[in-house]
Amino acid sequence: MTDQVSIAQGDSITKMKKMQPPSSGGRPAEQRLLLVLMVLICAGTVLIDVMAPPFTTFTVLVAYAVVFSILKVYAREHQSVDRSATREREFEFTQPMVSIVIPAHNEELLLATTIKSALQLDYPDFELLVVDDRSTDQTAAVLRSMKAIGDPRFRYITRASEHRPGKAASINEALTHTSGKLIAIFDADTQISPDFLTRAVTYFANPLVGAVQGKKALVNGDRNLITRCQKNEYFMDHHFQRTRDTIRSAVELRGNGMMLRRTALDELGGLNENTIAEDLDLCTRMHIAGWDVRFAEDAKIAEEGPETLSVLFKQRIRWTEGCITRYLENAARIFSNKKLALRTKLDAALFILEFLGPFWLLVENTVLLIRLLSGNWVPQPLLVAAPAMTILCLYFIYASLTGIWKEENGNFPKTIRGTILVYCYLSLLFVPIAFLLMFKFLTRNERDLSWYKAPRYGAAFK
């Protein structure tokens, strides 16, 4: 089939470049930067307290409000010029070949349902490849039974034991067995909307787009209190993604339901096999390289969420670790890149601030406590971390309200309940995760790159 709009250049299968990992062997690079940031926070807080400049909490709050207003005006101006200029092209009709890749490791429970969901897509030109990464359960039997159906679009491969394990390695290997100009990645517990490809592909009519992330929901979002918290968290994330997409900021890839331009992957050397969050690492490297990443709100998928607190905590630790690692690891390239937009740099800076916020608050309160115990108490002590974190919390509350209101079709009671749930849930979850990860970063000698996935519950069958 001939593309009506050029989606990619060169051969349909491009030889993968040898991956040059940002760091390998020895202590991880992010450990050094984290130490520097912690020292700067401690020294800065003490220095500010000793010098006692004529600032107050109110002054800091006003400064934040002014900066925020300026950024909002800039965002509106940028949206009107940049996004409008490409909007017509994004809706041009294109139907390039798409290769769907589903990496699988011990996925016997839901894999067949996911394969059937993929084969029911209404897109006219795609192939489906499942990569079995040395599963030890009945995944191989499930794949054989699905192959017996006889759909020529479906194939599977089993990775050899001598190959490097992991999701990123599985996807990189799949690229050498597929021929699509676009690559769609789905997890093995995914229910895919039949028009997913049809809607997501249109964004690639813009030649600057290197990747597109679809909109995720939870199959088991109403299963219990823990899954309801996650469901509303996803609604909040939709607001963040929509906002980033509107102003062409740092839209993030979420691993499941993402589409990638093959030439962009080839240029970057494929997925990074030396990170635990290959999706977040990839979108950051794409932004640095000048590729645009879009959020396709109309391309929908549903996945399972953890149903127990222990599994949720373990999953979120890994997600947060991957997110902060890619920023710390690429910090020099992000902030020194003159071509990278200010809004993208701010995204990185704000997440680093968010991660270090609990530690910053601890340092600030420790300084105030020392002053109180030494008898050098000031009635209105200087506070910087507290208002900064307050503003950040208010922003998350606003994002929750906006995101849940939209997803719940303006249902006010559900919006209020969902926002309260998200705020309490994230507050109780994130603070211990931040301190635990800081300790882990400072004490570990190497990263754990083994396969990890939350247990499957079979929600798609219920």
pLDDT given at position 226: 92
* Single pTM value for the model: 0.81
Q: How large is the average pLDDT for residues 64-83?
A: 56
pLDDT of 77 > 70? The answer is no
- Buried b / exposed e over 56-71, threshold 16 CB at 10 Å, is eeeebeeebeeeeeee
pLDDT given at position 8: 39
C-beta of residue 34 within 8 angstroms of C-beta of residue 441: yes
Q: How many CB atoms lie within 10 A of CB 183?
A: 22
pLDDT tens readout for residues 364-393: 778 777 777 777 655 555 566 777 777 778
Q: How many CB atoms lie within 10 A of CB 151?
A: 13
Q: Are strands 126-132 and 209-218 parallel, antiparallel or unpaired?
A: unpaired
pLDDT tens readout for residues 237-266: 998 898 888 877 788 999 899 999 999 999
Distance separating alpha carbons of residues 227 and 301, to the nearest angstrom: 17
Tokens in use for 143? 């794949």
Distance separating alpha carbons of residues 271 and 13, to the nearest angstrom: 16
Tokens in use for 237? 């994330």
pLDDT given at position 55: 52
Residues 225, 276, 326, 433, Cα dihedral to 10° = 40
Q: How large is the average pLDDT for residues 411-427?
A: 90
Which range among 6-15, 65-74, 148-157, 215-224 shows the weakest confidence by mean pLDDT? 6-15
pLDDT tens readout for residues 147-198: 988 899 999 999 887 778 788 899 999 999 998 999 999 999 999 999 999 9
pLDDT given at position 336: 83
Which range among 50-59, 90-99, 196-205, 448-457 shows the weakest confidence by mean pLDDT? 50-59
Gap between the terminal Cα atoms of the chain: 39
pLDDT given at position 233: 93
**CA 406 to the chain's CA centroid:** 21
Amino acid at 424: C
Q: How large is the average pLDDT for residues 274-280?
A: 86
Element spanning 355, H or E: helix 342-373
Residues 191, 194, 197, 202, Cα dihedral to 10° = -130
pLDDT given at position 290: 85
pLDDT tens readout for residues 96-116: 899 999 999 988 888 999 999
Percent of the chain with pLDDT over 70: 77
**What does DSSP assign to residue 25?**
S
Burial of 453 (0-12, 13-18, 19+ CB in 10 A): middle
Instruction: Please name the residues in contact with 235: beta carbons below 8 A apart, sequence gap of 6 or more.
Output: 400, 403, 404, 406, 407, 408, 418
Domains along the chain with CATH numbers: 29-73+340-443 (no CATH), 95-307 (3.90.550.10)
pLDDT given at position 15: 43
Distance separating alpha carbons of residues 18 and 16, to the nearest angstrom: 6
Which range among 79-93, 147-161, 211-225 shows the weakest confidence by mean pLDDT? 79-93
Which range among 41-50, 129-138, 146-155, 434-443 shows the weakest confidence by mean pLDDT? 41-50
